[in-house]
Structure 1
């Protein structure tokens, strides 16, 4: 299964790299058991391939841009400072288009703002970082924005049968990614991944 994680300048490091680690460790776990890796994990730049500077200045060298991105089974949009992404019609249009063809779409933290801007979520039950709940409610009052949850599952607004997941802030993306491992592979793999990561999974 091919997973694409959209990255951009000022993306929150753990929003992107936490789920990346989960899917990567799930692959390692499969290898230890003599099974094929279940995931191909791609970082996809919001423009052409090149250097992306994550929040805090962490450099990420990304070899794939949105124009070259292949078909995906899961598109994950992390958060961070998303103003420029939300204001870029090319990126927003790409997210909208990909959500029509991708079975699973997910956001971490303020990545929910990008999904809302792209019309992927319109009136569903969603969540985001606790510090951004009020802003999400204010900007998209038709959304049912919930708090005190690690992640929320809903149906896609742009694809019949498409599944959308939104998570709370930063570390909650790890909990969501582990749940997605359970959905896409099985529960034993998700539990084994959390154990190999030495992570207390908040299911």
Structure 2
């Protein structure tokens, strides 16, 4: 008797005005391509991706002016297995009490809450980061350390994944983190096939502070 397929994990991508385009759209592309590749190979789609907007509008205006639509606002957003907060100009997002409360609540049921780039400032403001290693865009490392001295902010890594919380370096590192999460949640074979489909030289790099799916430090290897 064939076992029923596992339900798709719901991935919630948070949108806000002045979000960095690749921070948000890069992971969207990774998870959606992973679905296409899985279905092409006769597997069920492992992810359901939903875009969740802060504020009262139907979406967000990203840096550079790109308008992004959303599936939900925070008030009606469904529970998510994976929550990802992109970066960009995050001053307003990091002061948005509704968003911070929503993230704190999401932490209770999500498998992982993650940030890209300066999204780490939003997770810190929500009280989701602790003394374990975190990372952010190289240009913002000093500011993150100054604002939250208790954080162990590391440099020179693409992402840090502790299982329940993950952070990534800047902008294009969103792709590396998202592919890592595909590997972790749906299998490395699918992550490798997704990177190939995207024609992206993914480096499945080690993870600082207790790797989840990483190799030994100093052994990053491009995926052919």
TM bin, normalised by shorter chain, reads over 0.9
- Which 5+ residue runs of structure 1 have no aligned equivalent? 156-162
- Pairwise CA RMSD of aligned residues? 1.0
Give the equivalent residue in structure 1 for 2:132. Answer: 124
Task: Give secondary structure in 2 for the equivalent of 1:192.
Answer: helix
2:121 aligned with 1:113, yes or no?
Answer: yes
What does residue 190 of structure 1 align with? 191
Superposed counterparts of 1:20-169, under 5 Å: 20-48=28-56, 50-154=58-162, 163-169=164-170
**Matches of 1:108 and 1:14 in 2, distance apart?**
10
Q: Hey, what's the Cα distance between the residues in 2 that align with 1:74 and 1:53?
A: 23
Residue of structure 2 equivalent to 1:178: 179
Q: How many residues align?
A: 196
Displacement of 1:34? 1.7
Runs of 4+ in 1 over 4 A off after TM superposition: none
- 1:158 aligns with none
Secondary structure of the corresponding residue to residue 136 of structure 1: helix
CA deviations over 1:106-134 (Å, ceiling 9, x no partner)? 10000000000001102120000000000
Does the CA-based 8 Å contact 1:86-1:117 persist in structure 2? yes
> Post-superposition shift, 1:55?
0.7
User: What is the distance in 2 between the residues matched to 1:188 and 1:48?
Assistant: 40
Task: Calculate the TM-score normalised by the size of structure 1.
Answer: 0.94
Are positions 1:9 and 2:10 aligned together?
Answer: no
Q: Rg: which structure is higher?
A: 2
Shift of 1:5: 0.3
Whole-Å separation in 1 of the counterparts to 2:162 and 2:39? 32
**2:159 and 2:166 in contact (8 A); partners too:** yes
1:22-59 superposed Cα distances (whole Å, 9 cap, x missing partner): 00000000111121111000010012450310111000
Query: How far apart, in 2, do the equivalents of 1:58 and 1:202 lie?
Result: 29
Unaligned runs of 5+ in 2: 1-8, 205-224
Paired residues of 2:117 and 2:168 also in contact (CA < 8 A): yes
